[in-house]
Amino acid sequence: MIHLTEKGKIRVFIIFLVAYLILFLIISITNQDYEYIYYNLLIAGGFMILIYFNKEIHLQPYSILGLIILGFLHLAGGNFLVGGFKLYQTSILSIPYDKIVHFVGSFIITFIVYNLVKPFLEKKNRTKIYPAFFIVFLISVGLGAMVEIVEFLATVIFERTIVGNYANNALDLVANTLGALIASGISVKHLIKKL
């Protein structure tokens, strides 16, 4: 069995990232889908910034993998067709694919925020556990709201999008909040065990 170092794992994950970014960019260009060219470029730029600053924030390899999988799910939603519909226009077990991606995204982001906040909590100080939960939760929900702003900009910039209406936006925020809430609870439980 091959055991990779942390840098080795990150390199493998980045190879997967670059491969799917190229694949989805080709699909989007071929289909003249400017909305998903936009998202593809945003994801590529976001990862370039993340990789540049990773020495300072030091995300764990599996946090990076979570973000890479999230990017894949998003781009797949706008590029893969199921029965003539984009994946984002379908449901899995009656749950819209879009809401699943938002839930998973907030879930992953919340663990990353928790890992960024965790070093600032003093050992053996249980009074900071619940404020930490609240801070992690609010940061994650705020980041989910920023994603909604990016989607809104797509509706302003591009004539045709599959973003949806106001109700879709509100339900995305609900899915983001549920993902952040559950992941925040798991994070606090983890922190209590460590104290």
Q: What is the pTM of this model?
A: 0.77
The secondary structure of 71-126 as a DSSP string is: HHHHHHHHH-EETTEEGGG-EETTEEHHHHHHHHHHHHHHHHHHHHHGGGSPTT-G
Listed by start position, the domains of the chain span: 1-89, 91-195
pLDDT at 94: 94
Of 22, 23, 25, 20, which is closest to residue 37 (Cα–Cα)? 25
Q: What's the CA gap between 128 and 108, in Å, rounded?
A: 22
Q: Which tens digits make up the pLDDT trace of 135-166? A: 888 889 999 899 889 888 888 888 888 777 87
Better pLDDT: 85 or 123: 85
Name 86's bridge partners: 81
Q: Would you place residue 47 in the very low, low, confident or very high pLDDT band (cuts 50, 70, 90)?
A: very high
Q: Would you place residue 93 in the very low, low, confident or very high pLDDT band (cuts 50, 70, 90)?
A: very high
Q: Say which amino acid occupies 39.
A: Y
Phi, psi for residue 82 in degrees, rounded to 5: -130, 115
Which structure tokens are listed for 123? 């050992």
Better pLDDT: 19 or 195: 19
What mean pLDDT comes out for the span 159-178?
84
pLDDT above 70 for 126: no
pLDDT at 125: 60
Mean pLDDT of the chain: 88
pLDDT at 131: 76
* Cβ neighbour number for residue 71 with a 10 Å cutoff: 22
Q: Would you place residue 74 in the very low, low, confident or very high pLDDT band (cuts 50, 70, 90)?
A: very high
Of 36, 96, 104, 111, which is closest to residue 70 (Cα–Cα)? 104
